[in-house]
Structure 1
Amino acid sequence: MTGRITEILRYPIKSHGREAVARVVLSEGQSLPWDRHWAVAHEASEADGSAWVPCRNFTRGAKVPGLQAMSSALDEDSGIVTLTHPDLGELRFDPDTEGDQLIDWTRPLMPEGRMGSDRVVRAEARAMTDSDFASVTLCNRSSHRAVSQRIGRDLSIHRWRGNIWFDGLAPWEEFDWIGREVQIGSAVVLVRERTTRCAMTQANPETGARDADVLGALESWDHRDFSVLAEVIKGGEIAVGDEIGRL
């Protein structure tokens, strides 16, 4: 059985905006191009981008739910990122040289008592994903619909901040891919593990307000997992509409 890719999403600045693209070229051992290419380090973080560090070093939606409502657009030629937020308006800046603008712009979203954002760091080694290996996230729309049905209303796929969305397969079928190779367009990935979810999924991607017990819904299946993390073992181009399936 094969499914088809419905969306490809990247997150140029970790936890700060999402962007849909029609096609990308995956490279062996790398994450989605430009995905988590920058991240915002908080005041207590020692992250400088030279090496991968865990997500606790960064400002993220699990602690700052208002970030969930942010969208982004990256100009790959110039490196300029444009962010939009329903409460903050628009910010256009260069993350490499104008990170202070982002820190100032997002300050109204920071909850009291949380460590403030301090600086924007660029990933020099590899993408600053939550996994300790360079990963792409594969998300099943059928599994998403199952969660929506359990909660009792439609949810946006953007709660999950996944990379490659597909449809046409059974709910939770992606969990059977662990340890297996999967063909996506002309690329091949090795699915390594499930993605354990955090409080960021509770926040509405339109408003940034926590409004759904997504973790409670997942726990009704005796886990907190949604989507799977995969490693690219054969590079190639993938596009919306391409087939995806286990080899």
Structure 2
Amino acid sequence: MTDELKVVRAGFAPIKGTRHLAHDRLVLDDLGVVGDRGFALVSVDTSAPSRGRVLRTVQHPSLVAVRAEVAGGGLEIELPGGETVSAEPVVTGESIICDYWGREVELELLDGAHSELFSRWLGRPVRLARARRGDVVFAGAVSMVTTASLADLARRVGDEAALAAARFRPNLVVETEEPYAEDTWLGREVQVGVARLRIGVPIPRCAVIDIHPETGERDVRLLKTLASHRPLNRAGEPAFGVFAEVVAPGVVG
């Protein structure tokens, strides 16, 4: 029997590292959330133009202050000051091999005003690139956290307002009564909307959770708090939430 979970928030960011936005409706296919991190920003190696590196949020926290949304056939980005670009990225026919957390992915380089705006915002030259479905995902197709675990962490840090779910960038927030009940779900199939997921491994957390999910400023020490009471992986990263794979595609919301 498959357990049915109540989803209280669903979301994603179309450009890796930009603000994690709530959505009323998510489409899940075999590879995960449609539209989730379909684009990334890359730093091109000037000494080897066919190679580069995907920008990491933990090294460029100001990215989370930027709103990005797919609108029709175009991509709209908005900086905190209100400057926007809304256009369809220009396909160049170029590709680049990028390092992404120790593995290589091939991305399609794009031209247009998006790259120029991000370069000005970050103070360094970057390019917008597009990934094949599933390529710019760290592990697991769908990320999930639970309401009881969020509430427990808020109690431990003494600041409920600091624990906006977007800080953890989950695709799904599901309702639970017991903190960390998700630790017991590994390998279990669950129903969300009309889709079915198989729970995989715990999500290891890094310092990204210490930055405000709208400004990018470091404001709380959640990582240290998590590490004080949660299981650690070999790299010393504490677990919070779980990854899941899509067993039966469908719509959530």
Match of 2:37 in 1: 36
Contact 1:2 1:169 in 2 (8 A): no
Contact 2:21 2:166 in 1 (8 A): no
The reply on whether 1:27 has 2:29 as its aligned counterpart is yes
* Aligned partner of residue 63 in structure 2, secondary structure: helix
Deviation at 1:117, TM superposition (A): 5.0
Match of 2:9 in 1: 7
Which amino acid is the alignment partner of residue 107 of structure 1? Answer: S
Contact 1:188 1:233 in 2 (8 A): yes
Distance, in Å, in 2 between the alignment partners of 1:220 and 1:2 is 31
Cα deviation code 1:195-238 (max 9, x no counterpart): 11112111112321111111101111143122111000111222
* Aligned partner of residue 57 in structure 1, secondary structure: strand
Distance, in Å, in 2 between the alignment partners of 1:108 and 1:118 is 9
Cα deviation code 1:151-210 (max 9, x no counterpart): 221222111111011123321111211111111122111111111111211111232111
Distance, in Å, in 1 between the alignment partners of 2:111 and 2:216 is 22
Q: CA RMSD in A?
A: 2.6
* Aligned partner of residue 153 in structure 2, secondary structure: helix
Moved more, 99-108 or 16-25: 99-108
Distance, in Å, in 1 between the alignment partners of 2:55 and 2:144 is 24
Match of 1:61 in 2: 57
Cα deviation code 1:80-126 (max 9, x no counterpart): 12222324633323345464523332335537xxxx45322212242
Distance, in Å, in 1 between the alignment partners of 2:82 and 2:120 is 8
Distance change >3 Å, CA 127–CA 211, structure 1 → 2: same
Cα deviation code 1:16-64 (max 9, x no counterpart): 2333221233223x1101111111112349998xxxxxxx931132101
Match of 1:175 in 2: 183
Distance, in Å, in 1 between the alignment partners of 2:82 and 2:217 is 14
Distance change >3 Å, CA 196–CA 173, structure 1 → 2: same
Q: What TM-score comes out, normalization by structure 1 length? A: 0.80
Which amino acid is the alignment partner of residue 24 of structure 2? Answer: A
Q: 2:138 aligns with which of 130, 141, 153?
A: 130
Q: What TM-score comes out, normalization by structure 2 length? A: 0.78
Distance change >3 Å, CA 69–CA 118, structure 1 → 2: closer
The reply on whether 1:144 has 2:150 as its aligned counterpart is yes
Paired residue total: 223
Q: Which runs of 5+ in 1 are unaligned?
A: 49-55, 240-247
Q: Higher strand share goes to which structure?
A: 2
Match of 1:71 in 2: 67
Distance, in Å, in 2 between the alignment partners of 1:65 and 1:229 is 23
Match of 2:115 in 1: 103
Contact 1:69 1:86 in 2 (8 A): yes
The sequence identity of aligned pairs, in percent, is: 24
Distance, in Å, in 2 between the alignment partners of 1:138 and 1:227 is 6
Q: 2:76 aligns with which of 79, 82, 99?
A: 82
Contact 1:182 1:189 in 2 (8 A): yes
The reply on whether 1:221 has 2:233 as its aligned counterpart is no
Contact 1:47 1:57 in 2 (8 A): no
Distance change >3 Å, CA 139–CA 47, structure 1 → 2: farther
Which amino acid is the alignment partner of residue 84 of structure 2? Answer: E
Q: Which runs of 4+ in 1 moved over 4 A?
A: 45-48, 96-100
Cα deviation code 1:60-85 (max 9, x no counterpart): 3210111122222212x31x122223
The reply on whether 1:231 has 2:245 as its aligned counterpart is yes
